[in-house]
């Protein structure tokens, strides 16, 4: 059994705004092993970014709060450790790549300085020359000429900016990389390049990665395991084969796959999932998916489904609960 | 289960947000009180009282007969403050209305037609804006002389650029947006676009700027009157009251403190209102 | 970079010409006959006509304007109608006092305004934030000359700590500078606060935190430097208003500066003096704005890179 790097148990996160409370994450369980690439799939508003921010404790002050649950990163109790401890972890043991490269870089500092910053923060004993050497290394690694290290972010294209962000995130060889839709804001052709590069880097540095995306194609090409997130909880989890091929999948997952247009078949209309993602400040009772589910049963409206596990595959759905743990209908 | 989203009119939602802001409400109340005082000044105290000199009564500190005391020529300060409110608010309002009207027209023409017309007009506006407003006002007064009419002209000219810019930028920002192209594609006429889209969007910032500018105008007119380039005595004006009183202020501070507080009250209420409106119209998340 | 400075200086010229033209046009409306004022009522019609010819007042407006500009470039701004002294010399003697006031006004407003604004933003909704917001609000609502009078009442008349009038020593400039600084101070507090609040919400601040940077680094290295950019622009824009405030403060504290000269000249209908004073102020404002623009271009890399060659 591989080592567990990240363990999230029953995590709940709320946002307290003027307009009310938003229940972004509700009882989330997740595990990531060392060196594993986990794809986290879900629509906008499912709570994926919130979960990632919670791991680094970067939720907006005063508004975002972890109300329940535990997060263990390599044994460290993230929820309860001190801020000083967290600062040692951020950028070092675990780092994050954000969604929008256009706004993630400080416009008035050179890219070289911004990469150097994360190195200086976690390598206080190193000399300036050593740090600069490493900056050059990282830039080359992400495919940018080190001569450009004194340029400013606005002098780079979107794809190049994202590479800089990746360089910053990987500079201190973190054990866990949180990539929040790293290619969504980029052209499709650049997407491919960047993901390819990330795969290579991951191999080289042996980091574990949580790749947040809404694109199942990206998952297929890059991930070992997949977790499906809906309304703040993980409703399905397994290896890529389980999620893509198993017959016993959560109706939401089935719906996601069905809504992908198929180039080989002649169809007139797309098949989206009926209805909308629920309002996180006003979640439905019972199973949060029940009002959109084609297989909704009476108990779904009032009772939360339990996690049913079969080998590497977990589903939270009343459909599969019938005969107990290992037998799945 | 479908969530029902009620569509509140923008006006209503702005008002709701405005109401929540206690300071802004306070400003609004103060302003309304001032306006009422200015309009109904005659019913509170007669104009004669404000300008009649009673040398025997001069330089009285606030007492039962004269709530704010009397000035160095025996005039009742309370009456002068009341009528001063009328002067200040009137001048401020008139100035802004004139500046707004001319500024909007200029800005609208520049923004709507664009190109060379826009360039020429905005160059002129920029030059006007480069002259500090106090300076411009003093120049106009230097040329035309003092008095209410000239002051209003002087001050409105200095404020025209401000409104021209707002209107122009409102128009430009909307012109570029896609929904205008969509509207045109649906066959909307130019007039319809102007009235349905451009004006509702521009009105908010204009009203905010107008409110705040009015406060600035009251400060400007009192400054001009203070240095003798504004409203001439015996007209009761807060600024000139300060000028007249400053020689004797050492032993009779009420001559100077009270008119000053009046100015502060008026300008503060306008600033609170203007700020409140700005926050209510554009609620960037304060969290 | 020099190209940028050169370009902006060149742009300043048409602006100054435009301003001088507008002011000249306005002043031409001045009622009253300057010749009469000079020669007095006793002078005969022939003398008046002769004088008019000599002063070139019979030529048309544009000619007079061009002549004025031509003379001005030589340092000749005419003679005062009041006492016939050289306008240029008088202004040069007086302007430094006004500039001193404006300078100290800016210094005070920056050294207090920016830190208070930053603290307000970082500790949003705290007591300091509320107090400074209300204080700033009050300061934008009070007339600076009234503040000056109140200070005079307290510190000069009642306590006797500072001199009330004149310009003999540096002590004379303390109260007027504070009065001049008041409005600008309020604006800076509010502006700094709002730009800081905006900047702190930006994604790149989150990136900085995700690196494990200390809060102090996040605030000063990342947030503040970005937030100050628009603030610098505002300081430039406000300079004109500040100068106006300085001129008024001179009359309160009886400081012999350009402001008191201008105001007295307006009341005396001394057109050459007024004209020249206004021009000088406009030039000062224009140059200050230019300096601010250059400074801004220098500290914002996005603009700087357009003008400075990229080193490879």
Token duo for residue C155 = 């510190």
Query: Which residues 206-225 on chain C approach chain A with CB closer than 8 angstroms?
Result: 206-214, 221-222, 225
At residue C222, the pLDDT reads 93
Contact A246, A313 (CB under 8 A): yes
At residue A153, the pLDDT reads 94
B5 band by pLDDT with thresholds 50, 70 and 90:
very low
A58 band by pLDDT with thresholds 50, 70 and 90:
very high
Q: Where are the domains of chain A?
A: 4-93+178-194+207-280, 101-173
Q: How many contacts does A have with C, using Cβ atoms within 8 A?
A: 77
The Cα–Cα gap between B216 and A226 comes to 62
CATH 1.10.3720.10 holds for C87-311: yes
Listed residue (C233, C229, C231, C213) closest to C221, CA to CA? C213
Which CATH architecture does the domain made up of A4-93+178-194+207-280 adopt?
Answer: 3-Layer(aba) Sandwich (3.40)
Which of B127, B272, B284 shows the shortest C-beta gap to C18? B127
At residue C18, the pLDDT reads 82
At residue C49, the pLDDT reads 76
Q: Suggest the residue from A50, A108, A170 to mutate for an interface test with chain C (most C CBs closer than 10 A).
A: A108
Kindly give the pairing relationship between strand A176-180 and strand A94-97. parallel
At residue A328, the pLDDT reads 41
Distance, first Cα to last Cα, chain C: 17
Cross-chain Cβ contact C207/A104 below 8 Å: yes
Mean pLDDT over B152-167 rounds to 90
Token duo for residue B86 = 């009328």
Token duo for residue B222 = 């009192």
Reported as a single tens digit per residue, the pLDDT across B78-134 is: 888 999 999 999 999 999 999 999 998 888 888 877 788 888 888 888 888 878 888
Which of B142, B246, B264 shows the shortest C-beta gap to C27? B142
- For the sheet with A4-17, list strands across it: A20-33, A4-17, A64-73, A76-77
The percent of residues in chain B predicted with pLDDT above 90, rounded, is 28
Which chain C residues touch A154 with a CB distance below 8 Å?
A: 301-302, 305
Q: How many contacts does B have with C, using Cβ atoms within 8 A?
A: 134
B286 band by pLDDT with thresholds 50, 70 and 90:
very low
Cα torsion at A53, A57, A62, A65 (round to 10°)?
Answer: 80
Cα torsion at A136, A139, A145, A147 (round to 10°)?
Answer: -40
Which chain C residues touch B227 with a CB distance below 8 Å?
A: 248, 251, 263
Listed residue (A201, A50, A202) closest to A137, CA to CA? A201
Contact B156, B91 (CB under 8 A): no
Contact A123, A172 (CB under 8 A): yes
Listed residue (A292, A312, A298) closest to A231, CA to CA? A292
| A82 three-class SS | coil
Contact B156, B128 (CB under 8 A): no
The Cα–Cα gap between C185 and C177 comes to 11
- With a CB cutoff of 8 Å and minimum separation 6, the contacts of C131 are none
Mean pLDDT of chain B: 83
Within an 8 Å CB–CB cutoff, is residue A192 touching chain C?
no
Within an 8 Å CB–CB cutoff, is residue A56 touching chain C?
yes
Q: Which CATH class is domain B70-285?
A: mainly alpha
Reported as a single tens digit per residue, the pLDDT across A146-179 is: 999 999 999 999 889 999 999 999 999 899 999 9
Cα A131 to the chain's mean position, in Å? 29
The Cα–Cα gap between A166 and A179 comes to 9
More reliable by pLDDT, B12 or B158: B158
Q: How do the pLDDT tens digits run along chain C, 312 residues long?
A: 677 778 878 888 888 888 888 878 877 776 666 666 666 666 677 777 777 777 667 677 788 888 888 888 887 787 777 777 888 888 999 999 999 999 999 999 999 999 999 999 998 888 999 999 999 999 999 999 999 999 998 888 888 888 888 777 888 888 999 999 998 999 999 999 999 999 998 999 999 999 999 999 999 999 999 999 999 988 988 888 899 899 999 999 989 999 999 988 888 878 888 888 888 888 888 888 888 888 888 888 887 777 665 443
Listed residue (C256, C267, C262) closest to C280, CA to CA? C262
Kindly give the pairing relationship between strand A37-41 and strand A307-310. unpaired
Q: Where does residue C64 rank: exposed (0-12), middle (13-18), buried (19+ CB within 10 A)? A: middle
Is residue B283 predicted with pLDDT exceeding 70?
A: no
Is residue A38 predicted with pLDDT exceeding 90?
A: yes
Q: Suggest the residue from C207, C213, C304, C312 to mutate for an interface test with chain A (most A CBs closer than 10 A).
A: C207
A213: β partners: A41
Cα torsion at A239, A207, A96, A283 (round to 10°)?
Answer: 20
More reliable by pLDDT, B283 or C193: C193
Q: Suggest the residue from A15, A16, A18 to mutate for an interface test with chain B (most B CBs closer than 10 A).
A: A18
C-alpha distances (whole Å) from C116 to each of A152, C190, C196 are 30, 9, 11
B6 band by pLDDT with thresholds 50, 70 and 90:
very low
ipTM for this model: 0.85
At residue C2, the pLDDT reads 76
A16: β partners: A21
Which of C203, C214, C229 shows the shortest C-beta gap to A98? C203
At residue C79, the pLDDT reads 77
Cross-chain Cβ contact B3/A279 below 8 Å: yes
The Cα–Cα gap between A244 and C46 comes to 109
Which chain B residues touch A62 with a CB distance below 8 Å?
A: 287
Contact A236, A228 (CB under 8 A): yes
Cross-chain Cβ contact A96/C225 below 8 Å: no
Is residue A327 predicted with pLDDT exceeding 70?
A: no
Within an 8 Å CB–CB cutoff, is residue A282 touching chain C?
no
Which of A88, A103, A110 shows the shortest C-beta gap to C212? A88
Token duo for residue C63 = 């000619």
Helix residue ranges per DSSP H, chain A = 48-55, 83-89, 101-104, 111-122, 128-141, 158-170, 188-205, 216-222, 240-245, 251-258, 298-302
Residue of B nearest to C160 (CA): B250
Which chain C residues touch B272 with a CB distance below 8 Å?
A: 137
State the nearest Cα–Cα gap between B274 and chain A, in angstroms. 23
C-alpha distances (whole Å) from A56 to each of A15, A41, A214 are 16, 19, 21
Give the neighbours of chain A: at least 3 Cβ pairs within 8 Å.
Answer: B, C
C-alpha distances (whole Å) from A143 to each of A119, A147, A160, A182, B253 are 19, 12, 9, 16, 74
Which chain C residues touch B138 with a CB distance below 8 Å?
A: 262-263, 266, 274, 278
Residue of C nearest to B153 (CA): C26
Query: Which residues 235-274 on chain B approach chain C with CB closer than 8 angstroms?
Result: 239, 242, 246, 249-250, 253, 256-257, 260, 263-264, 267-268, 271-272
Place of tokens 């009157």: B225
Q: How many contacts does A have with B, using Cβ atoms within 8 A?
A: 16
Mean pLDDT over A94-113 rounds to 92
Q: What is the DSSP string of chain C?
A: -HHHHHHHHHHHHHHHHHHHHHHHHHHTT--S-HHHHHH-TTS-HHHHHHHHHHHTTTS-HHHHHHHHHHHHHTT---B-TTT--BHHHHHHHHHHHHHHHHHHHHHHHHHHHHHHHHHHHHTTTSHHHHHHHHHHHHHHHS-HHHHHHHHIIIIIIIS--S--S--SSGGGGHHHHHHHHHHHHHHHHHHHHHHHHHHHTSHHHHHHHHTT--HHHIIIIIIIHHHHHHHHHHHHHHHHHHHHHHHHHHHHHT--SHHHHHHHHHHTT-HHHHHHHHHHHHHHHHHHHHHHHHHHHHH-HHHHHHHSPPP-
Query: Which residues 95-124 on chain A approach chain B with CB closer than 8 angstroms?
Result: none
H or E, element range at B29: helix B22-39
Q: Where are the domains of chain B?
A: 70-285
Token duo for residue C117 = 């604004």
At residue B218, the pLDDT reads 94
State the nearest Cα–Cα gap between A118 and chain C, in angstroms. 6
Listed residue (C50, C114, C101, C135) closest to C250, CA to CA? C101
Q: Where does residue C41 rank: exposed (0-12), middle (13-18), buried (19+ CB within 10 A)? A: exposed
Cross-chain Cβ contact A282/B3 below 8 Å: yes
Which chain A residues touch B3 with a CB distance below 8 Å?
A: 276, 279, 282
The Cα–Cα gap between C284 and B4 comes to 60
Is residue A325 predicted with pLDDT exceeding 60?
A: no
Which of B1, B2, B287 shows the shortest C-beta gap to A17? B287
Q: Where does residue B287 rank: exposed (0-12), middle (13-18), buried (19+ CB within 10 A)? A: middle
Reported as a single tens digit per residue, the pLDDT across A106-140 is: 999 999 999 999 999 999 889 999 999 999 999 99
Contact B268, C138 (CB under 8 A): yes
The Cα–Cα gap between A133 and A145 comes to 13
B175 band by pLDDT with thresholds 50, 70 and 90:
confident
Contact B99, B159 (CB under 8 A): yes
């Amino acid at each position: 059994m591989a080592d567990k790097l990240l363990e999230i148990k029953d995590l709940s996160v709320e946002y307290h705004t003027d307009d009310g409370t938003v229940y972004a994450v509700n009882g989330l369980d997740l595990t990531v092993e060392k060196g594993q690439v986990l794809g986290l799939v879900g629509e906008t508003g499912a709570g994926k970014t919130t979960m990632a921010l919670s791991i680094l404790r970067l939720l907006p002050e005063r508004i975002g709060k972890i109300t329940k649950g535990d997060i263990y990163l390599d044994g460290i109790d993230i929820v309860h450790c001190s801020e000083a401890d967290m600062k040692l972890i951020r950028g070092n043991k675990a780092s994050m790549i954000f969604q929008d490269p256009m706004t993630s870089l400080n416009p008035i500092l050179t890219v070289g300085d911004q990469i150097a910053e994360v190195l200086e923060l976690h390598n206080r004993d190193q000399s300036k020359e050593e740090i600069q050497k490493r900056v050059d290394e990282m830039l080359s690694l992400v495919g940018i000429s080190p001569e450009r290290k004194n340029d400013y972010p606005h002098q780079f294209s979107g794809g190049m900016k994202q590479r800089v962000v990746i360089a910053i995130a990987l500079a201190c060889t973190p054990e866990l990389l949180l990539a929040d839709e790293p290619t969504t804001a980029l052209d499709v052709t650049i997407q491919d390049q960047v993901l390819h590069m990330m795969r290579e880097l991951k191999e080289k540095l042996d980091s574990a990665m949580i790749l947040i995306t809404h694109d199942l194609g990206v998952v297929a090409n890059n991930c070992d395991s997949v977790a499906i997130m809906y309304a703040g909880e993980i409703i399905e989890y397994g290896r890529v084969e389980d999620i893509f091929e198993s017959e016993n999948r959560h109706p939401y997952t089935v719906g996601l796959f069905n809504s992908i247009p198929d180039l080989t078949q002649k169809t007139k209309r797309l098949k989206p999932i009926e209805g909308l993602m629920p309002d996180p400040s006003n979640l439905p009772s019972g199973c949060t998916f029940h009002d959109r589910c084609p297989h909704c049963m009476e108990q779904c409206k009032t009772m939360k489904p339990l996690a049913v596990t079969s080998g590497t595959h977990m589903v939270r759905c009343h459909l599969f609960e019938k005969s107990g743990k290992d037998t799945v209908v | 289960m479908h969530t029902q989203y009620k569509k509140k009119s923008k006006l209503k939602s702005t008002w709701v947000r405005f109401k929540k802001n206690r300071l802004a409400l306070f400003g609004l109340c103060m302003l309304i009180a001032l306006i009422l005082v200015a309009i109904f000044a005659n019913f509170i105290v007669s104009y004669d009282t404000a300008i009649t000199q009673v040398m025997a009564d001069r330089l009285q500190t606030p007492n039962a007969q004269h709530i704010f005391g009397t000035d160095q020529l025996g005039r009742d300060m309370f009456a002068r403050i009341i009528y001063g409110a009328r002067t200040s608010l009137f001048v401020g309002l008139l100035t802004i209305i004139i500046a707004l009207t001319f500024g909007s027209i200029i800005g609208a023409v520049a923004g709507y037609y664009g190109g060379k017309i826009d360039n020429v007009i905005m160059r002129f506006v920029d030059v006007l804006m480069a002259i500090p407003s106090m300076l411009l006002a003093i120049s106009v007064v230097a040329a035309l002389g003092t008095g209410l009419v000239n002051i209003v002209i002087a001050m409105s000219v200095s404020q025209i650029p401000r409104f021209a810019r707002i209107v122009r930028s409102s128009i430009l920002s909307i012109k570029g947006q896609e929904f205008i192209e969509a509207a045109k594609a649906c066959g909307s006429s130019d007039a319809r676009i102007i009235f349905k889209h451009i004006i509702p969007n521009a009105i908010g910032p204009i009203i905010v700027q107008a409110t705040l500018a009015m406060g600035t105008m009251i400060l400007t007119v009192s400054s001009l009157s203070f240095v003798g380039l504004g409203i001439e005595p015996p007209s009761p004006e807060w600024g000139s009251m300060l000028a007249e009183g400053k020689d004797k202020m050492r032993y009779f501070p009420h001559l100077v403190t009270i008119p000053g507080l009046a100015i502060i009250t008026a300008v503060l209420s306008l600033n609170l209102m203007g700020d409140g409106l700005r926050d209510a119209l554009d609620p960037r998340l304060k969290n | 970079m020099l190209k940028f400075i050169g370009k902006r200086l060149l742009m300043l010229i048409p602006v100054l010409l435009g301003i001088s033209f507008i002011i000249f046009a306005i002043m031409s409306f001045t009622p009253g006959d300057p010749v009469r004022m000079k020669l007095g009522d006793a002078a005969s019609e022939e003398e008046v006509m002769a004088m008019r010819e000599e002063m070139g007042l019979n030529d048309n407006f544009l000619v007079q304007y061009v002549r004025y500009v031509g003379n001005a470039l030589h340092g000749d701004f005419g003679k005062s109608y009041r006492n016939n002294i050289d306008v240029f010399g008088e202004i040069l003697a007086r302007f430094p006092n006004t500039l001193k006031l404006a300078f100290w006004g800016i210094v005070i407003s920056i050294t207090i305004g920016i830190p208070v604004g930053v603290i307000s933003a970082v500790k949003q909704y705290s007591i300091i934030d509320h107090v400074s917001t209300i204080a700033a609000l009050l300061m934008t609502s009070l007339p600076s000359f009234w503040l000056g009078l109140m200070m005079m009442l307290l510190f000069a008349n009642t306590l006797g700590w500072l001199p009330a009038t004149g310009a003999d020593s540096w002590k004379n400039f303390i109260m007027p500078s504070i009065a001049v600084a008041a409005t600008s101070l309020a604006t800076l507090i509010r502006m700094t606060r709002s730009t800081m609040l905006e900047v702190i919400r930006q994604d790149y601040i989150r990136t900085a935190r995700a690196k494990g940077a200390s809060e102090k680094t996040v605030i000063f290295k990342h947030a503040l430097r970005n937030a100050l950019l628009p603030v610098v622009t505002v300081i430039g824009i406000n300079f004109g208003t500040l100068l106006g405030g300085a001129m008024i403060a001179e009359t309160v504290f009886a400081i012999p500066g350009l402001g008191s000269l201008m105001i007295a000249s307006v009341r005396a209908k001394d057109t050459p003096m007024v004209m020249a004073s206004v021009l000088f102020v406009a030039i000062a404002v224009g140059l200050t704005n230019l300096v601010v623009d250059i400074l801004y271009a220098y500290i914002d890399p996005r603009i700087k890179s357009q003008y400075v060659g990229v080193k490879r």
